């Protein structure tokens, strides 16, 4: 997701904007820029490359002024060049705009503007078209003083956005309108930070939490006019906007790396706490069940559910796949997994008592948000599982479960995955106790969940061992991951982590699929990772490993209990995690795979927290 930071106040804008961009740097970008108004000039600095490069430009020629906007861009329309970097200007050169999202009809709008004969474009972006369109409507409305100019600019934004098809989070300034920023959103998050004699705009609250913890999370179709001491929110239709000032739950300290070299490693090590927090206050030893009041459903409504659909993307989808096994085992309910990107584009058969869960760490994932809206549009109760209580998914769902994982800065998701899997266990326990699980069985589930944080701490002690294995295989051309049942999705997640931060080709497969074509890839240069804990299918996994060994394929085995001895002479490297029931084993077995990917990336000298081509939150389709 691209980043937006805006500021209007009494301090110099440049250092605040640059600091905000640095705080969004983890989300991925290929260019950056700022526009700061100083008297009758709009001072712009922008370039392709890192924020450090932008910082050098700003140090060489410091832009002055107390209000402005800034941006980090992932290229969509147009290559990552200085020219295509944001901000972009209208034809007059007075209006500067930054934009997240995609204007789908930009080409038609551009052609219409060019036919008017007064619009010359200097970039390949859809954003510049939007700037020209807003500028055109503003210039056409005439001029009658400063106060009127503010109203005219908001009206111009409203008129232009009514012509737009697509998604946007925007912020803009005009050199003729002092101390005034306009923002708007549709499908791309935008938050207003409320300060004392200063206000902020940002695509993510982490950019501004060092300056204020009072925030207004804008809704789709909101337009906000921001000044030093006040703001006004209205809708795209021109009506007054409803808003609530919320207190940000985390602090500036929570989003710092501390003594860790990378956010990803910090977040891997935070998992005992994040899993504990996912369960906090949600387990009832007396009733041997889970308490999930956020579902906003009565006992009768929960008992009436006859099918569950889990939808998500990437890591969240993998957590959902484990959820399928957990809920079906504990509750006996049929569960379907859907790619969010496919859910709203195909006619998924569902009964009237189907319950849908949309899973997203950020709560802003475009495809998952689209799936949620489609599900609700069709009349199905749709719940969210997300980590941001003020996110769009949290606000638009019929209820849900908040993860309580704290800020996840690393692009490669780690603690959010284990929190989501933990919540799947809580859901399975809740529905199971309403159906066939006895009190003793429910109590055993609770015991296993409560043991998890300490078991994660034990698993993290394996990091030095995993580091040595990572050095051994860091330069492999590819890695194959295998698992069965609950641990097949773990194989998918392990492969995804490796791809994301090492750029090594990796695939996850069910172990039993080995001989159905995948075995052709086995060779001495390609290690195979088997997630093979002490469970009912261990012997099956062992047989698959024997087949790989016979073809001289290196084997890394993640196992548990006494199975390590049975792997001697078969696996080249063995990683042993604590013993646990099937439904919680994925939380433990995934951690060595997270560490393996991390240490391989470090060994290769790669930027773990800023993997190429990736953004933390995918807010465009």
The residue range of the domain holding 593 is 461-608
Residue 69 lies in a domain: yes
Q: Are 456 and 301 in contact (CB under 8 A)?
A: no
Number of H helices, E strands in the chain: 19, 26
Residue range 207-228: average pLDDT?
94
Give which of 144, 153, 145 is closest to 95, Cα–Cα.
153
State the pLDDT at residue 243. 86
Name 154's Cβ contacts closer than 8 Å, sequence gap at least 6: 182, 223, 225, 234
Identify whether residues 245 and 264 lie together within a single domain. Answer: no
Residue 388 lies in a domain: yes
- The phi, psi pair for 362, rounded to 5°, reads -75, -30
> Taking each helix axis from N to C terminus, what angle separates 271-279 and 439-460, rounded to the nearest 10 degrees?
160
d(CA 536, CA 202): 50
End position of a domain, from candidates 201, 234, 254: 254
* Count: domains in the chain: 3
Q: Are 599 and 464 in contact (CB under 8 A)?
A: no
| pLDDT tens track for 65-99 | 999 999 998 777 788 899 999 999 999 999 999 99
Give which of 541, 561, 441, 550 is closest to 485, Cα–Cα.
541
d(CA 232, CA 226): 7
d(CA 411, CA 211): 24
pLDDT at 528 over 60: yes
Identify whether residues 436 and 525 lie together within a single domain. Answer: no
**pTM of the entire predicted model:** 0.85
Identify whether residues 310 and 221 lie together within a single domain. Answer: no
| pLDDT tens track for 117-159 | 889 999 999 999 999 999 999 999 876 555 689 999 999 999 9
Identify whether residues 486 and 444 lie together within a single domain. Answer: no
Identify whether residues 307 and 380 lie together within a single domain. Answer: yes
**Cα→Cα distances 328→314, 335, 463, Å:** 22, 7, 33
Residue 428 token pair: 């399975």
* Cα of 316 vs its chain's centroid, Å: 9
Residue 404 lies in a domain: yes
Identify whether residues 591 and 529 lie together within a single domain. Answer: yes
- The phi, psi pair for 254, rounded to 5°, reads -65, -25
Residue 617 lies in a domain: no
d(CA 87, CA 81): 13
Active site residues: 2, 616
* Cα of 291 vs its chain's centroid, Å: 26
Identify whether residues 517 and 438 lie together within a single domain. Answer: no
**59 confidence band (pLDDT: 50, 70, 90):** very high
pLDDT at 614 over 80: no
CATH number of the domain that residue 360 is part of? 3.40.50.10490
CATH number of the domain that residue 217 is part of? 3.60.20.10
Residue range 195-215: average pLDDT?
94
| pLDDT tens track for 433-488 | 999 999 999 999 999 999 999 999 999 999 999 999 999 999 999 999 999 999 99
């Amino acid at each position: 997701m691209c980043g937006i930071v805006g500021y209007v106040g009494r301090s110099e804008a440049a250092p605040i904007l640059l600091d905000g961009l640095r705080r969004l740097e983890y989300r991925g970008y290929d260019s950056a820029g700022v526009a700061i108004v100083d008297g009758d000039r709009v001072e712009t600095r922008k370039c392709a490359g890192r924020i450090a490069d932008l910082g050098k430009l700003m140090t060489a020629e410091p832009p002055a002024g107390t209000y402005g906007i800034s941006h980090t861009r992932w290229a969509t329309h147009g290559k990552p060049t200085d020219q295509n970097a944001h901000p972009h200007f209208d034809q007059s050169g007075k209006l500067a705009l930054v934009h997240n999202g995609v204007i789908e009809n930009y080409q038609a709008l551009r052609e219409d503007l060019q036919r008017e004969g007064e619009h010359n474009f200097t970039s390949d972006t859809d954003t510049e078209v939007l700037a020209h369109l807003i500028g055109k409507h503003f210039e056409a409305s005439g001029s009658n003083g400063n106060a009127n100019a503010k109203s005219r600019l908001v009206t111009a934004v409203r008129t232009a956005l009514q012509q737009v098809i697509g998604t946007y989070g925007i912020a803009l300034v005009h050199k003729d309108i002092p101390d005034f920023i306009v923002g708007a959103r549709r499908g791309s998050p935008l938050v207003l930070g409320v300060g004392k004699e200063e206000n902020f705009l940002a695509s993510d609250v982490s950019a501004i939490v060092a300056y204020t913890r009072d925030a207004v999370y804008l809704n789709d179709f909101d337009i906000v006019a921001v000044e030093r001491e006040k703001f006004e929110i209205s809708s795209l239709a021109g009506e007054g906007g409803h808003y609530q000032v919320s207190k940000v739950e985390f602090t500036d300290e929570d989003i710092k790396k501390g003594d860790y070299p990378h956010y990803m490693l910090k977040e891997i090590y935070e998992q005992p706490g994040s899993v504990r927090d996912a369960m906090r206050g949600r387990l009832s030893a007396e009733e041997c069940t889970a308490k999930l009041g956020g579902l906003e459903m009565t006992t009768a409504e929960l008992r009436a559910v006859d099918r569950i659909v889990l939808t998500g993307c990437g890591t969240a989808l993998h957590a959902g796949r484990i959820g399928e096994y957990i809920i079906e085992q504990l509750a006996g309910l049929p569960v379907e997994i859907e790619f969010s990107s496919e859910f709203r584009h195909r006619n998924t058969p569902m009964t009237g008592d189907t319950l849908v869960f949309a899973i997203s760490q950020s709560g802003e994932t475009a495809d998952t948000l689209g799936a949620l809206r489609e599900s609700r549009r069709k009349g199905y109760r749709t719940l969210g599982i997300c980590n941001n209580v003020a996110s769009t998914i949290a606000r638009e769902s019929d209820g849900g479960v908040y993860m309580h994982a704290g800020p996840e800065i690393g692009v490669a998701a780690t603690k959010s995955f284990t929190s989501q899997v933990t919540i799947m266990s809580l859901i399975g326990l809740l529905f199971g106790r309403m159906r066939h699980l006895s009190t003793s069985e429910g109590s055993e589930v609770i015991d296993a969940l409560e043991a998890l944080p300490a078991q994660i701490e034990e698993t993290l002690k394996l990091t030095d061992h995993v580091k040595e294995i990572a050095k051994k295989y860091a330069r492999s051309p590819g890695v194959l991951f295998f698992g069965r049942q609950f641990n097949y999705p773990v194989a998918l997640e392990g492969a995804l982590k490796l791809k994301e931060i090492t750029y090594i080709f990796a695939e996850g497969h069910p172990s039993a699929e080995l001989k159905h074509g995948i075995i052709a890839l086995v060779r001495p240069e390609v290690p195979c990772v088997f997630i093979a804990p002490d469970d009912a299918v261990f012997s099956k996994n062992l047989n698959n490993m024997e087949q790989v060994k016979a073809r001289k394929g290196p084997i890394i085995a993640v196992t548990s209990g006494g199975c390590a001895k049975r792997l001697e002479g078969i696996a080249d490297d063995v990683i042993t995690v604590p013993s646990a029931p099937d439904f919680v084993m994925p939380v433990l077995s995934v951690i060595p795979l997270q560490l393996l990917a991390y240490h391989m990336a470090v060994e290769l000298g790669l930027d773990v927290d800023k993997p190429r081509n990736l953004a933390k939150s995918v807010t465009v389709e």
